[in-house]
Amino acid sequence: MITFENVTKVYHDTVYAVRDISLVIEKGSLCFIVGPSGAGKTTLLKLVYGLERPSEGTVSVFGSDLSRIPRSRLQAIRRHTGFVFQDYRLVEDWTVYQNAAIPLEILGKSPLYVRSRVWRMLKWIGLTHKVYERARNLSGGERQRLALVRAIIHDPDIVLADEPVGGQDETTARYLMNVFYKLHRKGTTIVIASHRSDPLMDHARIVRMEHGRILE
């Protein structure tokens, strides 16, 4: 499903964020990328989403080498992938509702479906009381929950989540991690980058990174 073959990513010709990584993430797996700050976790996820291109090596998703496919095919892959960004990347001037609805609108879902799905997801994540609030007025934890809703609302095949519970209290963090576990049980491929260990890791594959490399 996701394959890295001897992938290196260098920023500005000098910063080796990812060094010669080879990794296969199987369809339906739950995989944690764990490592200290600066290890290259975010870079690894961005490579899967085609937001960064490898300096060397190949990254393939659904069997397609991301460096060799046309833009339209990359967009098709992204439509089947959800990304919870470490810095959320919400549209600040849009409401909670608008931010949550966008993946469904891109997929051309009917307004009736969009409406019911958005309300259901916001209810489930505890954000209905903020539905018409602008994203910029939300607390850190609320923004993170909205980012999670936006990443999974269209039921993607792959979910990439970058520190998805960092801003949450313990109870909410456990609740959100359980969301990932349920998605995994349903067959979604999940890749979570994290500094901290999580009880869920007992059920998951753990890939440890340091200085851009995978540790054995």
- Which residue among 1, 5, 20, 38 contacts ligand ATP (CB under 6 A)? 38
Note whether 121 and 63 are within 8 A (CB).
Answer: no
Residue nearest to Mg ion (CB): 42
Is 195 near ligand ATP (CB under 6 A)? yes
In total, the chain counts a number of residues equal to 216
Which is closer to Mg ion, CB of 84 or CB of 152?
84
Near ligand ATP in 70-109, by CB under 6 A: 86
The rounded distance, in Å, linking the Cα atoms of 191 and 29 is 8
108: left (phi over 0), alpha (psi -120 to 50) or beta: left
Is 35 near ligand ATP (CB under 6 A)? yes
Note whether 209 and 39 are within 8 A (CB).
Answer: yes
**CA distance from start to end of the chain:** 22
**What DSSP state is assigned to residue 62?**
T
- Which residue among 42, 60, 168, 188 contacts Mg ion (CB under 5 A)? 42
Is 30 near ligand ATP (CB under 6 A)? no
**What DSSP state is assigned to residue 201?**
G
The rounded distance, in Å, linking the Cα atoms of 90 and 101 is 12
Residue 71 binding target from ligand ATP, Mg ion, none, CB below 5 to 8 Å by type: none
Is 40 near ligand ATP (CB under 6 A)? yes
Number of residues this chain uses to bind Mg ion (CB under 5 A):
3
199 backbone dihedrals φ, ψ, rounded to 5°: -55, -30
Is 215 near ligand ATP (CB under 6 A)? no
Is 99 near Mg ion (CB under 5 A)? no
Is 194 near Mg ion (CB under 5 A)? no
| Token duo for residue 198 | 């999580």
Closest separation between CB of residue 107 and ligand ATP, Å?
Answer: 29
Query: Which residues are registered as beta bridge partners of 158?
Result: 81, 189
Note whether 10 and 16 are within 8 A (CB).
Answer: yes
Closest separation between CB of residue 214 and ligand ATP, Å?
Answer: 12
Taking CB under 5 A as the binding criterion, the range among 37-45, 106-114, 134-142, 194-202 that sits at the site for Mg ion is 37-45
Give residues in contact with ligand ATP (CB under 6 A).
Answer: 11-12, 15, 17, 35, 37-43, 86, 195
User: Would you tell me which residues interact with Mg ion (CB under 5 A)?
Assistant: 41-42, 86
